Chain A
Amino acid sequence: MSISRFSSILKLSFLSVVLAFTSNVSADPVKAAFVYIGPTGDHGWTFAHDEGVKYAKEKLGDDVIMTTIENVAENSDSERVITSLARKNDIVFTTSFGYMNPTVKVAKRYPDVKFEHATGYMLEDNLSVYSARFYEGRHVIGKIAGRMTKSNVIGYIASFPIPEVIRGINSAFLAAKSVNPDVQIKVVWVYTWYDPGKEADAANALIAQGADVLMQHTDSTAAMSVAEEKGIYAFGQASNMREWGPNAQLTGIINDWGPYYADRIAAVRDGTWTSSDTFAGVQQGMVKFAPMNNNMPTEVKNEAMQTIIDLSMGKVHPFTGPINKQDGSPWLAEGETPPNFPDLLTMDFYVEGIDSKYPN
Chain B
Amino acid sequence: MIKLIPRVENSKAMILLSPLLALTLTAVSALIIFIFILDDIKVSSVFFTLFVLPLTDSYLFPELLVKAAPLMIIGLGLSIGFRAGIWNIGAEGQYVIGGIAGGAVGLYFYNVEGFWLLPLMALASIIGGMLYASIAAFLRIRYQVNEILVTLMLTYVAVLFLSAMLQGPLRNPAGFNFPESRIFHDSAMLPIIWEGTRLHIGFILAIILSLVAWFGIKKHMFGMQIKITGSAPRAAKFAGFNDNKTVLYSLLISGGLAGLAGFFEASGPAGQLTPGLPQFYGFTAIIVAFLARLHPIGIVFSSLLIALSYVGGEEVQIEYNLPSSITQIFQGMLLFYFLACDILIKYKVVLNKTKD
B198 contacts which chain A residues (CB < 8 A)? 76, 79-80
Interface residues of B, count at CB 8 A: 37
Contact B167 A359 (CB under 8 A): yes
Contact of B59 among A70, A83, A101, A191 (CB under 8 A): A83
Contact with A along B279-321 (1 / 0, CB 8 A): 1000000000000000000000000000000110011011001
Min C-beta distance of B99 to chain A, whole Å: 11
Shortest Cβ distance from A191 into B: residue: B163
Contact A69 B177 (CB under 8 A): no
Please indicate which of the listed interface residues A67, A76, A83, A346 has the most CB atoms of chain B within 10 Å of its own CB. A76
Interface residues in A283-314 (C-beta closer than 8 Å to B): none
Contact A80 B63 (CB under 8 A): yes
Please indicate which of the listed interface residues A69, A84, A161, A345 has the most CB atoms of chain B within 10 Å of its own CB. A84
A70 contacts which chain B residues (CB < 8 A)? 317, 323-324
Contact of A98 among B167, B274, B310, B324 (CB under 8 A): B274
- B179 in contact (CB, < 8 A): yes
Shortest Cβ distance from A80 into B: residue: B63
B168 contacts which chain A residues (CB < 8 A)? 360
Contact B318 A75 (CB under 8 A): no
Contact B324 A75 (CB under 8 A): no
Known: A73-B279, A76-B276, A161-B167. A84 touches B179 (CB 8 A): no
A85 contacts which chain B residues (CB < 8 A)? 318
A191 contacts which chain B residues (CB < 8 A)? 159-160, 163, 275
Cα separation A85 to B317 with both chains bound (whole Å): 11
- B164 in contact (CB, < 8 A): yes
Min C-beta distance of B292 to chain A, whole Å: 23
Contact with A along B121-160 (1 / 0, CB 8 A): 0000000000000000000000000000000000000011
- B178 in contact (CB, < 8 A): yes
Contact B179 A162 (CB under 8 A): yes
Tally of A-B residue pairs with Cβ under 8 A? 88
A78 contacts which chain B residues (CB < 8 A)? 276
- B339 in contact (CB, < 8 A): no
B178 contacts which chain A residues (CB < 8 A)? 97, 162-163
Contact A348 B318 (CB under 8 A): no
Contact A71 B279 (CB under 8 A): no
Shortest Cβ distance from A121 into B: residue: B176
Min C-beta distance of B200 to chain A, whole Å: 11
Known: A68-B321, A84-B315. A160 touches B177 (CB 8 A): no
A28 contacts which chain B residues (CB < 8 A)? none
Contact B275 A160 (CB under 8 A): yes
B63 contacts which chain A residues (CB < 8 A)? 80
Interface residues in B302-349 (C-beta closer than 8 Å to A): 310-311, 314-315, 317-318, 321, 323-324
B256 contacts which chain A residues (CB < 8 A)? none
- B277 in contact (CB, < 8 A): yes
Contact of A77 among B160, B163, B279, B315 (CB under 8 A): B279
Known: A84-B314, A347-B177. A101 touches B272 (CB 8 A): yes
Contact A71 B318 (CB under 8 A): no
B321 contacts which chain A residues (CB < 8 A)? 67-68
Contact A101 B314 (CB under 8 A): no
B105 contacts which chain A residues (CB < 8 A)? none
B81 contacts which chain A residues (CB < 8 A)? none
- A81 in contact (CB, < 8 A): yes
- A87 in contact (CB, < 8 A): yes
Contact B311 A101 (CB under 8 A): no
A73 contacts which chain B residues (CB < 8 A)? 276, 279
A360 contacts which chain B residues (CB < 8 A)? 164, 167-168
Min C-beta distance of A41 to chain B, whole Å: 10
Known: A68-B321, A163-B177. A75 touches B276 (CB 8 A): yes
Q: Looking at the complex, which of B1-9, B86-94, B263-271 is the stretch in contact with chain A? A: B263-271
Known: A98-B274, A162-B178. A75 touches B279 (CB 8 A): yes
Cα separation A114 to B198 with both chains bound (whole Å): 22
- B201 in contact (CB, < 8 A): no
Shortest Cβ distance from B271 into A: residue: A101
A51 contacts which chain B residues (CB < 8 A)? none
Interface residues in A44-94 (C-beta closer than 8 Å to B): 67-71, 73-81, 83-85, 87-88
Contact with B along A15-52 (1 / 0, CB 8 A): 00000000000000000010000010000000000000
Contact B269 A74 (CB under 8 A): no
B314 contacts which chain A residues (CB < 8 A)? 69, 77, 80-81, 84
A161 contacts which chain B residues (CB < 8 A)? 167, 179
- B183 in contact (CB, < 8 A): yes
Known: A76-B269, A76-B270, A79-B269. A69 touches B317 (CB 8 A): yes
Contact A87 B310 (CB under 8 A): no
Min C-beta distance of A343 to chain B, whole Å: 11
Contact A74 B318 (CB under 8 A): no
Min C-beta distance of B63 to chain A, whole Å: 5
Contact with B along A143-163 (1 / 0, CB 8 A): 000000000000000001111
Min C-beta distance of B56 to chain A, whole Å: 15
Min C-beta distance of A358 to chain B, whole Å: 9
Contact A81 B275 (CB under 8 A): no
B180 contacts which chain A residues (CB < 8 A)? 101
A101 contacts which chain B residues (CB < 8 A)? 180, 183, 271-272, 274
List 7 other contacts, CB 8 Å, given A163-B177, A191-B159: A83-B59, A84-B315, A97-B178, A101-B274, A161-B179, A191-B160, A347-B177
Which 10 residue pairs across A and B have the least CB separation, nearest first? Answer: A75-B276, A76-B269, A348-B177, A71-B324, A74-B276, A76-B270, A346-B176, A346-B177, A75-B279, A80-B63
Selected A-B contacts with CB under 8 Å, 15 pairs? A39-B324, A67-B318, A74-B276, A75-B274, A75-B279, A76-B270, A77-B310, A77-B314, A81-B314, A84-B315, A101-B180, A101-B272, A105-B271, A162-B177, A345-B176
B-binding residues in A (CB < 8 A): 33, 39, 67-71, 73-81, 83-85, 87-88, 97-98, 101, 105, 121, 160-163, 191, 342, 345-348, 359-360
